[in-house]
Structure 1
Amino acid sequence: MSHNPITELTCQLIHYFARFQDRAEEEREHVYTRYGELLHYHNESIVQFGDLSIAASRINWACFCQRRGLQLRHLDQQMIPDEEAVQLILEKSKEWIFPLASVTKLRKERYALRFQRAPIVAHVIGNIMQLGELYGKPQKLEFAPDTTVSLVLHEQFLDVEAPPGNSKEMHKFRARQLFMIVSRLLKYTNMHPVEPEDQTDETLVISIDSNNHARRPTQPDIVDGDPGNPVRQEVRLVCGPVVESHKKAATTLDSLSYMNIRSNDMLLIAMHRHGVRDCPQGEGFQDLMRRLGFAAVIVDLFEVRHSSCASLVSNGLGSSKGANYILYNSARLETLLRTFNGKVETGVYGPLPPLESVDLSTLEEDLDWHLIYGYLLHFPEMIESVLLQFREGHVGVHILVRYIVGLASTFSRYYRNKQILVQHRANLMPVLHARVYLVKAVRQVLNLSLALLGIEPVNYM
């Protein structure tokens, strides 16, 4: 099965309605990453809009097919015109990577498609448990198969007087953090980072730039080689300015001062909303404060596109919900697993059985489904979408940040509505074991996502 099942499922669905005009094209591997209004994979309002919704009108599909060199298989004005057509697609979907359970008509000329949940639940939990840190790792990227990459940060963004990992000027700090995030993303893909001195004509050079004034263009710079030699391409990723929220002018705060401000903000929010655990004012407390502050700063700087203006949070303006939710739910995950392991050690629970002997059917309810289908299944697809626009001078770090916030918020809702560590009764043990595996899967994906941003998870809050 593909490391990115969403891509495979998209191809199967599109090819159900359309075929290639040129038979030779059928032999090639095609990836559909930009399909606009044609397909919507949902991670919210799944009960209302389905797991996936598709355009019902032939017009939408005809426009897409014209751009892609495809031809629709039938002439009906509606893509699934009657009950017979519904049964046909349900039967055909049995051959797909994930079979459908139902197809219904929505308002606004769309169909809602719902999948059989059991195969997806088993696939997601099984893959995460088996692959661990390799889950979601791209095997092949359409824009850069087997490409060597050289990542360059200009020396003007290095501040030797600043503490490690910091820069006195916020726009320089943002550029340095983008450099480090891109470096981690490249290591997570099949691309091969090389040192500047090892560049070849085929090497994709990615340079990190910064702009503390009016936005400069972020289009890639094409560097021509000598006649007869291959063209080397250099992509310039530009960080937009960092401004004060109340006056929209470039900030005069240095990164260390801002991190201290955000650490204090996060602590106050944790105390007021969640009752932060008492902790001695020692090394452990200081480490927690550092992680809280750094997470808040990264979210502030990258919840918008890196090329856009980032506004600092000051004087109570703005929101810390994103970073706060992320690390608070990171702590929840660790606490749940620590509590479960403690009860196993004291004999309250038996050991967690192997996954293959666990009944995962208890994870097919709506709240479980929001986590598994809406977020965990889509992690590989999200990683590829972050990298998709490299050659256009963009990298979607904001997509990764929003994914993490959404995952943490969804788990928070799950935690409030589900009793994960159930009472020790024989009939409840299958539920307990399935939910513990789900918690382990969420923790694995959350920690993978945080690691790409350089954010460390926390054990308590």
Structure 2
Amino acid sequence: MDMSQNPLTKLTHQLINHFASYPEDSYAARATRYGELIRYQNENLVDCGDLSIAASKINWECFCQKHGLQLRILTEQLLPDEKSKEDLLEQSKQWIFPLQSVKKVHRERFALRFHRAPIIINVLNSILTKGESYGKHSNLEDDGTILPPSLCLTLNERFSDLEVGNTKELHKFRAKQLYLIVCRLLAYANWRLVEPQNQTDDTLVVSVECNNLPRRTSIDLPEKKIVRMVCGPVLEPTKKTAATLTSGSYMALRSNDMLLIAMHRHGVRDCAKRNNFESLMERLGHAAVIVDLFEVRHSTGATVVRNGLGSSKGANYILYNSARLETLLRTFSAQVDAGVYEPLPPIEKIDLSVLEDELDWQLIYGYLLTFPEVVESTLIHLDQGLCAVHLLVRYIVDLASLFSRYYRNKQILVQQRTNLMPVLYARIYLVKAVREVLNAALALLGIQPVDYM
């Protein structure tokens, strides 16, 4: 049973099935990642296509042998002539998303492009209908279906105590936040989580620990293997020695950094006039700390930010674009109330084909469609004690960056003219979808979005 709500999973299975046949008991093969065999793009879509596939039969033979599939190809090249390409296009009409074109971009790969309208309609409708449930796996029902193995996630007892006055050492704070983030990711992906007392023989036990702790053994189940999820140290930016900051002092430091940025952007007086400004700075400080600690792999050292050293765009950039989304939608709503615009029609009455230009397409196909895939990708090596939280952070930064470029290049709130309204309404729905996905991604990290900055 495929519980995934990730359309790319189904699409990949359909594409693979065109070139190879699955064995009858194909659950394991279908759950496999396909690496360089199939490469989905989110940048440079004009030149590279929406996705590309390996052109050589050798690549496909190796993959099929590894996963027990039977290759259908008899020629040395995957698509040797125009007829084979036409057959692929014809077959794709039965897929979740049909192909529009197939082109060989260089000797090793074919570039495939989709018909855009079906994907745009599917993605925006799914996000705006399902909301925070977009991309989540379906619930498991006790209907006789074979359930996947259970998982027990634990946090080393040294870090499980509640913080008193935010005095926890920063590396311990990082370990606890890793545990909480993994819990949220597992809940999103609907893993079958069990408490320690409910473990069975097939339960995977994952213990979040710091890299300087001795290996943990299970008292209750001495023979059970425990997978250690190691959380690396937190380091100073110049000497790369262990940071001596507590979580509370580092949050205060980063909150002050956010305050200085806000004052530089808006001025001291404007900042002082804003309601709940101090609370906002605290939230920004917390967000900055989370991004600082998890923009790198959790098993490696994270670097604190002092005097501008040790960070990239970070939380301020992400949340500035979060606030920009809210401001856009708030302004549109105010204009509707003022009678400037008509109320937003239902999405089924919107001509979404106006969103087919390159920036619209990159946002929808490259980022909104792929959000469930990103979440799934963070968990694929959980049995090895790895959770790719850094990929989620990178996704959020890239999504914020692309939306920033979109905002600069597109005039969303256009003048009230009949011929411009279809574009405005379609883009308002796109902005709503971006906000929904960005907020969902931030929530997985434990970061609250902001209404203004």
TM over 0.5: yes
Aligned to 1:365: 357
> What's the CA shift string for 1:22-44, capped at 9, x where partnerless?
5x346x57424422221110111
CA contact (8 A) 1:266 1:320 kept: no
CA contact (8 A) 2:321 2:400 kept: yes
Deviation of 1:221 after TM superposition, in Å, equals: 8.0
SS of the equivalent of 1:157 reads coil
TM-score by length of 1: 0.89
How many positions carry a matched residue from both structures?
A: 446
Q: Which moved more, 1:377-386 or 1:148-157?
A: 148-157
SS of the equivalent of 1:155 reads coil
SS of the equivalent of 1:420 reads coil
Aligned to 1:76: 75
Deviation of 1:88 after TM superposition, in Å, equals: 1.3
Q: Which moved more, 1:383-392 or 1:233-242?
A: 233-242
Q: Which moved more, 1:147-156 or 1:306-315?
A: 147-156
Deviation of 1:70 after TM superposition, in Å, equals: 1.6
- Go from structure 1 to structure 2 and tell me whether the alpha carbon gap of 1:181 and 1:355 turns closer, same or farther (over 3 Å shift): same
Pick aligned residue for 1:422 from 411, 414, 437: 414
CA contact (8 A) 2:29 2:68 kept: no
TM-score by length of 2: 0.91
Letter matched to residue 360 of structure 1: L
Rounded to whole Å, the distance in 2 between the matches of 1:43 and 1:388 is 21
- State whether structure 2 residue 312 is matched by structure 1 residue 313: no
Rounded to whole Å, the distance in 1 between the matches of 2:189 and 2:241 is 37
SS of the equivalent of 2:271 reads coil
- Go from structure 1 to structure 2 and tell me whether the alpha carbon gap of 1:145 and 1:292 turns closer, same or farther (over 3 Å shift): farther
Deviation of 1:262 after TM superposition, in Å, equals: 1.9
Deviation of 1:156 after TM superposition, in Å, equals: 1.4
- Go from structure 1 to structure 2 and tell me whether the alpha carbon gap of 1:276 and 1:56 turns closer, same or farther (over 3 Å shift): farther
- State whether structure 2 residue 161 is matched by structure 1 residue 162: no
Pick aligned residue for 1:327 from 303, 319, 325: 319
SS of the equivalent of 1:206 reads strand
- Map 1:57-456 → 2, pairs under 5 A: 57-107=56-106, 109-139=108-138, 145-158=147-160, 162-163=164-165, 166-212=166-212, 232-272=224-264, 278-280=270-272, 284-456=276-448
Pick aligned residue for 1:19 from 9, 13, 21: 21
Rounded to whole Å, the distance in 2 between the matches of 1:146 and 1:29 is 11
SS of the equivalent of 2:158 reads helix
- Go from structure 1 to structure 2 and tell me whether the alpha carbon gap of 1:199 and 1:18 turns closer, same or farther (over 3 Å shift): closer
CA contact (8 A) 2:262 2:271 kept: no
Rounded to whole Å, the distance in 2 between the matches of 1:282 and 1:338 is 17
Deviation of 1:370 after TM superposition, in Å, equals: 0.6
Rounded to whole Å, the distance in 1 between the matches of 2:269 and 2:282 is 16
Deviation of 1:145 after TM superposition, in Å, equals: 4.3
Rounded to whole Å, the distance in 2 between the matches of 1:244 and 1:332 is 32
CA contact (8 A) 1:7 1:33 kept: no
Rounded to whole Å, the distance in 2 between the matches of 1:277 and 1:184 is 39
SS of the equivalent of 1:34 reads coil
Structure 1 gap segments, 5+ residues each: none
> What's the CA shift string for 1:322-372, capped at 9, x where partnerless?
322210110000000100111111111111111111110111110000110
Letter matched to residue 101 of structure 2: S
CA contact (8 A) 1:202 1:232 kept: no
Rounded to whole Å, the distance in 1 between the matches of 2:117 and 2:90 is 17
Letter matched to residue 284 of structure 1: N
SS of the equivalent of 1:37 reads helix
Q: How large is the RMSD of aligned CA atoms in angstroms?
A: 2.7
- Go from structure 1 to structure 2 and tell me whether the alpha carbon gap of 1:322 and 1:357 turns closer, same or farther (over 3 Å shift): same
- Go from structure 1 to structure 2 and tell me whether the alpha carbon gap of 1:64 and 1:277 turns closer, same or farther (over 3 Å shift): farther
- Go from structure 1 to structure 2 and tell me whether the alpha carbon gap of 1:326 and 1:212 turns closer, same or farther (over 3 Å shift): farther
Deviation of 1:158 after TM superposition, in Å, equals: 4.5
Rounded to whole Å, the distance in 2 between the matches of 1:91 and 1:206 is 46
SS of the equivalent of 2:79 reads coil
Letter matched to residue 396 of structure 2: I
CA contact (8 A) 2:204 2:226 kept: yes
Rounded to whole Å, the distance in 2 between the matches of 1:57 and 1:275 is 59
- State whether structure 2 residue 80 is matched by structure 1 residue 43: no
Deviation of 1:67 after TM superposition, in Å, equals: 0.3
Deviation of 1:194 after TM superposition, in Å, equals: 4.0
Rounded to whole Å, the distance in 2 between the matches of 1:352 and 1:211 is 53
Aligned to 2:143: none
Deviation of 1:74 after TM superposition, in Å, equals: 2.1
SS of the equivalent of 2:78 reads coil
- Go from structure 1 to structure 2 and tell me whether the alpha carbon gap of 1:78 and 1:192 turns closer, same or farther (over 3 Å shift): closer
Aligned to 2:52: 53
- Go from structure 1 to structure 2 and tell me whether the alpha carbon gap of 1:69 and 1:200 turns closer, same or farther (over 3 Å shift): closer
Rounded to whole Å, the distance in 2 between the matches of 1:73 and 1:221 is 49
Letter matched to residue 12 of structure 1: Q
Deviation of 1:275 after TM superposition, in Å, equals: 7.2
Structure 2 gap segments, 5+ residues each: 141-145
Rounded to whole Å, the distance in 2 between the matches of 1:319 and 1:271 is 20
Deviation of 1:274 after TM superposition, in Å, equals: 7.7
- Go from structure 1 to structure 2 and tell me whether the alpha carbon gap of 1:188 and 1:36 turns closer, same or farther (over 3 Å shift): closer
Rounded to whole Å, the distance in 2 between the matches of 1:120 and 1:276 is 46
